[in-house]
Amino acid sequence: MSKDTILTNGRVYDPMHGIEGEVMDICMSDGKIVEKVNGSAKKIDLKRRLVMAGGVDMHSHIVGSKVGFGRAMCPEDHRKDPVPKTKYTRGGVGYTMPNSYVIGYRYSAMGYTTVIEPALPALKGLGSWEEMEDLPNLNSGLLPLFCNSMITFDYVKRRDLSGLAAFIAWTLRSVGGLGVKVVNPGGTYAWAHGVDLRDPNGEVPGWGITPKEIMHYLCEATEALGLPHVMHYHPNNLGRVGNVETTIEQLDSIRDIKGYHGRKHICHLTHMSFEALSSVEGAGTDWADIESGGLKFAKYMNKNKHFTADMGQITFGPATTMTGDGPFEFYLYQLTHGKWTNINVDVELPGGAGIVPYTYNPKAAGNSVQWTIPLEFALNVDDVWRCIVSTDHPNAGPFTKYPLVFSWLMSKKQRDIWMEDMHKFAHERSILSTIEREWSLNELAISTRAAPAKILGIEKSKGHLGVGADADVAVYDVDVTKVDLAKNPEKIIKTFSTSYLTFLGGKQVSKKGNVKDTGNEGVMTVHPQLNEDLWKRINKELEKKMNAWYSHSFYNYPVPERYRAHLEKKVKIDSTSVAA
Amino acid sequence: MTEEIHEHITCVFCGCLCDDIQLKVQDNKIVDNKNGCAISKAKFLHHTEDRPAAPTIRENGTAKEVTLDAAISKAVDLIANSKRLLVYGLSSTENDAHREAYKIAEAAGGVVDNTSSVCHGPTIMGAQESGEPAAALAEVRHRSDLVIYWGSNPQFAHPRHMNLHTRAAGEYIKDPKKERKIWVVDIRKTISAGIADKYIRISPGSDLEVLSAIRAVLRGKALDIAEVGGVTIKEIADLVERMKSVKYGVLFFGLGLTQSKGRYHNIDAAIRLIQDLNAYTKWSMMPMRGHYNVAGANKTSTWQTGYPYAVDYSRSYPRYQPGEFTAVDLLARGEADVLLNIAADPAAHFPRAALQRMGKIPIINIDPKQNMTSLLATVNIPTAIAGIECDGAAVRMDGLPLYLKKVVEPPENFLPDRDVLRMIYDELRRVMK
């Protein structure tokens, strides 16, 4: 049990409660934010330092099969970034794919307390739970993939929404998932047939269904179950010049779906930087034709309220691309001719995650335009509650570069400095250089705390500092009334790179970058309760399908309790209304 | 008499991790193994054989039975006073034990290596050069219409591999006899080659040349020689045509490729060939992992240290260097001064130079059974067998994690490897404070 603590005189930004820079005290007891603590509580005078809820990263590849493949195949990624053990922490390495301990420590040092792994191949769930045992100082959660499984296709083909919903419910419960991830629906599967299916209206070989239909059904099923987190979507045709059109087309195709209990948003589009590539009017879709689609996509978002998005901001320098979108990685490999890994087993039956190390270069035409896309977007959206900061770690850059991303969002001066030496396309093929807007601290707090917690459906305990929230608190060493951050972008980076204090569940886990390992804070999962008939039906059907299609037993699919019970924070939801 | 039937049990012998084993247990004794291969049957039915009675400490050449606490205390004493601890093995135990081994290596500033350094280590180095288009066993069965085993004899080392995965019918291969071809490339006609559709004999040590020639022909290069490694260029051209024209090819490879002349260069060449073939059609590859959890040792090492094997903690952060921090090399150079061996038998497998060093330094041997290393060890701590006498998790050759169940009680006072290692770690921390 953590000691009661009171943080006094903090300048608080807590957008969920409309608090914008008020000086106030924060009380913590028993891992929660409380109204008040008694006199024996530990008192820390923050002297007007900046206070926010612990950061919430809703899309960062931190555990699992492809992260492991990536780490193992890239010792060169780690060796220049050694992390010695300390009295309180384990040793390890960085850089774009740190070992599990260092991931936890570096998030703590930045004031982040919740991080979601957004692509779990469900049949490898056990491995991810084992790995999370070694992922310290974080609340986390896993999003299993449902997009290229023959079981999904089978239900979609039969127009069996209940069956699909039940398959999702069964999987979330069996492997401990927090939501539904969809990556290039049908496309990765088609690739196992040797077919490059990038058209959302094309046919998935052998099934007579289209990527759009798969997407639509998965979205509907998610809403039917009433999962707290909406469908987490990585579209077809990712990473191709001109794909802003197909991305919008895909989002348009689910507009008719009614949100659970009338909720407005039914889809979260992830790493939009890779799917809002436009091309110069009248030109083709070669890389030379690239233009930013950021503004276009922002305009679409401002008009259409049914989805949210995260940025996937390219940060320049080394990155490691890794995704359940195997064909995209093969395409990237054909461009780079460097290392290429493909992992077929990841989306059983067919499919494949891919991995390609990649260095984003500001002098390269394509990369420089790609860099402008999410910034152009984020600086043109009306509602920051729908726009989340991410680098799709480690795809567009490591999460440790978030402070740099904040500086681009919050400082026109910083953008101008960076664009000075950039490829001319950054100026010619994007309006970014003309944008004056600078994000406020409140907007930053929305985008990095409150909004992701809300979109994930964990806003009761995460993303804010109200009474009853988990005592996840970040204190940054800056008095924002004494410095103009927009004029001092380096100060933005310095401030957010290393928190003054980070509290996790009321425990102090970091002070000025000195981290203490407190073990895994818990893994959030959702357990949809189905009506008995549907539960019986899905067990029977899945046993048959898995035993026919998988290479291991249906009975060895679920992650055993002994790997979960001590970490799992279960939320049961009532999905009994889904008809059998 | 009590009798229980355990179904869907994962076999803990080879990297296939077949999970359809059915065991009959009578009065805490396994009396029947259904579905398992001959090796699996032997492993499960004879698991009580060759078990030491208790931990031992060797003094003046004689091993004396001691309590577990005394053995742990001696082990900790040796580790705490070591200058260059080598922790080795891990591939025949479950994943949780690995975690404790890494903690010990880190606390003592030693080296931790697993048995892949003497088997598929070159495979990993090949992937570090080029990546890895990794295959999956389900896809192999459902889709592959051409399977190549290179330097691998599955009928001998992975007896159910062909039956379950490459000779079996799948979703898109309804008649495997007609629709799927199996080739074996090897230096001798193995039993697997005997039942394959095609056997390609290559000269010993010529793997790299043959792979490179295949790749060159695939890329349209004209070779002005008649043959490579005993294979004619015409034959190579025929192979290439066939490999380009299949729908879904898979290359399985064994120690015949990883540990023969060229080693990781062989694997690198194989990877690049498979990558090149993907410009024409689907191809992937898979190492035939030997010990049931050697793939797991690479996985756990990777997420906990950043590197898959050969990890040194002497500078308080992990460093990786095969050839320098690999067990054989560390011993052969006379560098390691204490060996903590877990679930492996280096005394039976290491080259002479390494064995000579092992004869001179204290060894702590943690293994369920009496093995060659036990005969050298200063401290022997017998443990429960993972997947039979205690539970755990392991990783199949294609990366699939599987749960291992406990089906019988271990001998009295025998703890799982993870518990013994945790006791060593806790005591070590206390002593080193």
Nearest-by-CA chain A residue for B279 = A334
- Neighbour count for residue B65 (Cβ, 10 Å): 13
A23-60 residue pLDDT tens: 999 999 999 999 999 989 999 999 999 999 999 999 99
B positions 270-299 inside 8 Å of A (CB): 275, 278-279, 281-282, 284, 298-299
Contact B7 A560 (CB under 8 A): no
B262-293 residue pLDDT tens: 999 999 999 999 999 999 999 999 999 999 99
- Neighbour count for residue B332 (Cβ, 10 Å): 18
Stretch A240-251: mean pLDDT, rounded? 97
- Smallest CA–CA distance, residue B407 to chain A, in Å, is 15
Q: What is the pLDDT of residue B279?
A: 94
Angstrom distances, CA of residue B125 to CA of A67, B120, B310: 17, 9, 11
Structure tokens at A249: 């087309």
- Which of A347-351, A562-566, B124-128, B243-247 has the weakest average pLDDT? A347-351
Structure tokens at B137: 């066993």
CB contact A391 to B (< 8 Å): no
Band (A349; pLDDT cuts 50, 70, 90)? low
Map tokens 């951050």 to a residue. Answer: A485
Q: What are phi and psi of A514, to 5 degrees?
A: -85, 110
A467-496 residue pLDDT tens: 999 999 999 999 999 999 999 999 999 999
On the CB side of B316, how many CA atoms lie within 13 Å of its CA? 7
Residue A351 has pLDDT above 80, yes or no: no
Stretch A199-214: mean pLDDT, rounded? 96
- Smallest CA–CA distance, residue B406 to chain A, in Å, is 13
CB contact B135 to A (< 8 Å): yes
Residues of B in contact with A342 (CB under 8 A): 131-134, 284
Angstrom distances, CA of residue A503 to CA of A47, A457, A459: 17, 22, 18
Strands B319-320 and B311-312: antiparallel
Q: Where are the alpha helices (DSSP H) in A258-364?
A: 294-303, 326-336
Cα–Cα distance between A418 and A169 in angstroms, integer? Answer: 46
Cα–Cα distance between A577 and A43 in angstroms, integer? Answer: 49
- Smallest CA–CA distance, residue B179 to chain A, in Å, is 16
Nearest-by-CA chain B residue for A189 = B139
- Smallest CA–CA distance, residue A482 to chain B, in Å, is 40
Stretch A243-255: mean pLDDT, rounded? 98
Cα–Cα distance between A221 and A167 in angstroms, integer? Answer: 10
Please say whether the beta carbons of B270 and B264 come within 8 A. Answer: no
Of residues A232 and A325, the one with the higher pLDDT is A232
Cα–Cα distance between B161 and B147 in angstroms, integer? Answer: 12
Model's pTM, two decimal places? Answer: 0.97
First to last CA, chain B: 51
Nearest-by-CA chain A residue for B391 = A562
- Neighbour count for residue B219 (Cβ, 10 Å): 11
Residues whose CB falls within 8 Å of the CB of residue B171, separated by 6 or more in sequence, listed in order: A150, A349, A548, A549, B142, B143
Query: Among A65, A342, A345, whose Cβ lies nearest the Cβ of B133?
Result: A342
Residue A350 has pLDDT above 60, yes or no: no
CB contact A129 to B (< 8 Å): no
Stretch B384-403: mean pLDDT, rounded? 97
Nearest-by-CA chain B residue for A357 = B131
A positions 170-229 inside 8 Å of B (CB): 191-194
Query: Among B106, B127, B284, whose Cβ lies nearest the Cβ of A344?
Result: B284
CB contact A131 to B (< 8 Å): yes
Band (A194; pLDDT cuts 50, 70, 90)? confident
Q: What percent of chain A has a predicted confidence (pLDDT) above 90?
A: 92
DSSP state of A86: -
To the nearest 10°, report the CA torsion of B236, B141, A118, B391: -120
Residue A275 has pLDDT above 70, yes or no: yes
Please say whether the beta carbons of A34 and A508 come within 8 A. Answer: no
Q: What is the pLDDT of residue A347?
A: 52
B297-338 residue pLDDT tens: 999 999 999 999 999 999 999 999 999 999 999 999 999 999
Locate the DSSP E strands across A477-515: 501-504, 507-511, 514-515
Strands B198-201 and B181-186: parallel
CB contact A562 to B (< 8 Å): yes
Contact A126 B403 (CB under 8 A): yes
- Smallest CA–CA distance, residue B284 to chain A, in Å, is 8
The residues that bridge with A145 in the sheet, in sequence order, are A181
- Neighbour count for residue A421 (Cβ, 10 Å): 10
A323-344 residue pLDDT tens: 888 888 888 998 888 899 888 7
CB contact A517 to B (< 8 Å): no
B positions 147-186 inside 8 Å of A (CB): 164-165, 171
- Smallest CA–CA distance, residue A188 to chain B, in Å, is 13
Please say whether the beta carbons of A366 and A424 come within 8 A. Answer: no
Q: What is the pLDDT of residue B387?
A: 98
Angstrom distances, CA of residue A433 to CA of A101, A294, A408, A412, A418: 39, 13, 12, 9, 10
- Smallest CA–CA distance, residue A137 to chain B, in Å, is 15
Q: What percent of chain B has a predicted confidence (pLDDT) above 90?
A: 99
Cα–Cα distance between B95 and B390 in angstroms, integer? Answer: 12
Cis peptide leading into residue B102 (ω within 30°): no
DSSP state of B174: S
Please say whether the beta carbons of A176 and A568 come within 8 A. Answer: yes
Contact B19 A552 (CB under 8 A): yes
Contact A78 B320 (CB under 8 A): yes
CB contact A69 to B (< 8 Å): yes
Q: Which of B244, B317, B324, B418 to mutate to test the interface with A (most CBs of A within 10 A)?
A: B317
Amino acid identity for residue A476 in this structure: Y
Band (B48; pLDDT cuts 50, 70, 90)? very high
Stretch A434-463: mean pLDDT, rounded? 98
Task: Encode A416-429 in three state secondary structure.
Answer: HHHHHCCCCHHHHC
Please say whether the beta carbons of A128 and A194 come within 8 A. Answer: no
Average of per-residue pLDDT values in chain A: 96
Residue B303 — left, alpha, or beta (φ > 0 → left; ψ -120 to 50 → alpha)? alpha
On the 0-12 / 13-18 / 19+ scale of CB atoms within 10 A, A482 is exposed
A371-408 residue pLDDT tens: 999 999 999 999 999 999 999 999 999 999 999 999 99
DSSP A214-260: HHHHHHHHHHHHT-SSPEEEE-SSTT-TTTHHHHHHHHHTTTTPPPG
CB contact A73 to B (< 8 Å): yes
Please say whether the beta carbons of A524 and A139 come within 8 A. Answer: yes
A positions 398-427 inside 8 Å of B (CB): none
A143-186 residue pLDDT tens: 999 999 999 999 999 999 999 999 999 999 999 999 999 999 99
On the 0-12 / 13-18 / 19+ scale of CB atoms within 10 A, A480 is middle
Contact B127 A341 (CB under 8 A): yes
* CA max distance for chain A: 71
CB contact A38 to B (< 8 Å): no
Band (B194; pLDDT cuts 50, 70, 90)? very high
Residue A1 has pLDDT above 60, yes or no: no
How many CB contacts within 8 angstroms connect chain A with chain B? Answer: 193
Cα–Cα distance between B371 and A353 in angstroms, integer? Answer: 41
Query: Among B7, B129, B303, whose Cβ lies nearest the Cβ of A100?
Result: B303
Stretch A550-562: mean pLDDT, rounded? 96
Q: What is the pLDDT of residue A323?
A: 84
Q: What percent of chain A has a predicted confidence (pLDDT) above 70?
A: 98
- Neighbour count for residue A383 (Cβ, 10 Å): 12
Average of per-residue pLDDT values in chain B: 97
Distance of CA A462 to the CA centre of its chain: 15
Q: What are phi and psi of A124, to 5 degrees?
A: -105, 20
Of residues B1 and B375, the one with the higher pLDDT is B375
DSSP state of A530: P
